[in-house]
Structure 1
């Protein structure tokens, strides 16, 4: 159940949307199987495999985006197209031109699609109307754009915004490495990437390696900046912070796994307990992380 990535967006705190409203918004774009001649299809599916497109617990919501794509390798299309081109050349006495080759390729693609395998990929989205978070469980910016695009089509007047913090993550991560001091509530782990902004983009990566203060200082003084930094929050959740404020490789540590509800007797109860634990921890972690980055600009301006 635990998200492995957090691509973050902002909603107004205490956004007054109900699961019933969300269900009504998502239903018109619910996923249905692609037809034999369609290359891809996308839509909303139930997070729990039932009739509800919205799972909710403790005012937190979970929705699931599904993308289906036919697997039709370009090499196969090319092979069949060449065979058709040879047949056409024998019929008409000369090689097919560019337009004919394009038409042949389109015809072959249409004929092969019904025989192609389908690949489905589900992506979960956490909606926190209480604290104003919307997070996608993906590290792919392209997939995130597709999901947000469908969400904007589905939800009436979706008040979605980017997360704007006072300190750029790159600047903050670089300073933390330079001083060797993590922000309050966090520790710096043993993975990082430093990159030069100059010509050549010289890059140094540390994986499972102690981040020695002298080494960090030498790289930073040479003009490199921190582009990825592994961190742990409160000994409870580890993650890798990126310049876009996307959290990757999010992992619940043993202390949280031990906190799972031992009284849950079936899958539904375990899912509810895990979802409540995850969303509660994430909300607190994100509050601490934005504070470590100087707070959110809009909130600071309104204060």
Structure 2
């Protein structure tokens, strides 16, 4: 339940559906396992636990959801092992080498015959909509995976005008300042990890880990490189890494926070999971809001 990497999207207008409407919308696009000939399938699942059969979990001003994705696993070595004899046989029949197009057609036909026998691999991605800040927070570090989830939400809800929560140009300006220990988000200090990349064709990169970022050997790279990601640490809370692609990664919560509800135990599963969700989302929202406000404010001053 503790989000580790997130993509955040700002909505152009608030979502006003009630919980019953959301539950119905998600149920219409619920997860169903892949059929024999399908390579991949996604659908809504239960955000709290498989035993708590609720597609939309409402908590104060947030509603939580989850998307389950299943894909068939066909190792390339297996495909190639069965494909080569088919290529050789057809080439012998034709009396000539096969074209690339013909080989691709054989490969696609073979994949369709192998899919019913392939293993399945499933993953669950959680997210929440926060009506107070009007943003979506999706628990994934990959932009492509997040876009797939947005597409499913658009199908279920009819529309979803969502954009990345930070302007990339403004974010890049802030990343440079943060490494210089300037204009940091409220309550944050620099961490000990940073990556920089030169903006020229060669794109020389440098990475510092567990390093004092104020050191001269780090700061000199600002002369010819741009910060692509930097670790930040709340003085009394979580730590995270902000990337220039709008991703928030490597989120770590303090032990005092994650262990706060240990006394509740797990006898009432719904109560425990809901309590942990509340702590996680409150803590994460506080950090996200500080970053958003700093980037927007810094951007106005540039």
TM-score category (smaller protein): 0.7 to 0.9
Please give the alpha-carbon distance, in whole angstroms, between the structure 2 residues aligned to 1:167 and 1:87.
Answer: 56
SS at match of 1:31: coil
What residue is the counterpart of 1:253 in the other structure?
254
Indicate how the Cα distance of structure 1 residues 275 and 203 shifts in structure 2: closer, same or farther if over 3 A, else same.
same
> 1:61: Cα distance to partner?
1.4
Q: Which residue of 1 aligns with 2:207?
A: 205
Unaligned runs of 5+ in 2: none
> Residue 167 of structure 1 contacts residue 294 of structure 1 at CA under 8 Å; is this kept in 2?
no
- Structure 1 residue aligned with 2:232: 231
Matched, 1:44 2:38: no
Partner of 2:21: 21
RMSD: 2.6
In 2, the alpha carbon distance for the partners of 1:133 and 1:287 equals 11
Find the aligned partners of 1:206 and 1:256 in 2 and give their Cα distance: 28
State the shift of 1:190 in Å: 0.4
Alpha-carbon distance, 1:282 to partner: 1.9
**Deviation larger for 81-90 or 265-274:** 81-90
Give the whole-Å Cα distance in 1 for the aligned partners of 2:278 and 2:26. 23
Q: Distance in 2 between matches of 1:142 and 1:27?
A: 24
Deviation larger for 187-196 or 170-179: 170-179
For structure 1, list consecutive stretches of 5 or more residues without a partner in the other structure.
Answer: none
TM-score, normalised relative to structure 1: 0.87
Task: Please name the residue that 2:77 is paired with.
Answer: 75
Deviation of 1:280 (Å): 1.5
SS in 1 for 2:42: strand
Residue in structure 1 matched with residue 31 of structure 2 by the alignment: 31
More moved, 261-270 vs 244-253: 261-270
TM-score, reference length from structure 2? 0.88
Secondary structure at the aligned position of 2:155 is classed as: helix
- 2:283 alignment counterpart: 281
* Deviation (angstroms), 1:265: 4.7
**Hey, what's the Cα distance between the residues in 1 that align with 2:98 and 2:216?**
65
The alpha-carbon deviation at position 286 of structure 1 amounts to: 1.8
1:10 aligns with 2:10: yes
Displacement of 1:177 in angstroms is: 1.8
**How many pairs align?**
296
Q: Is the 8 A contact 1:178 1:213 kept in 2?
A: no
Alignment correspondent of 1:109: 111
Alpha-carbon offset, residue 89 of structure 1: 5.7
- How many angstroms apart in 1 are the aligned matches of 2:257 and 2:169? 29
| CA gap 1:38/1:258 in 2 versus in 1, 3 angstroms | closer
- Greater mean alpha carbon deviation, residues 93-102 or residues 183-192: 93-102
Shift of 1:181: 6.8
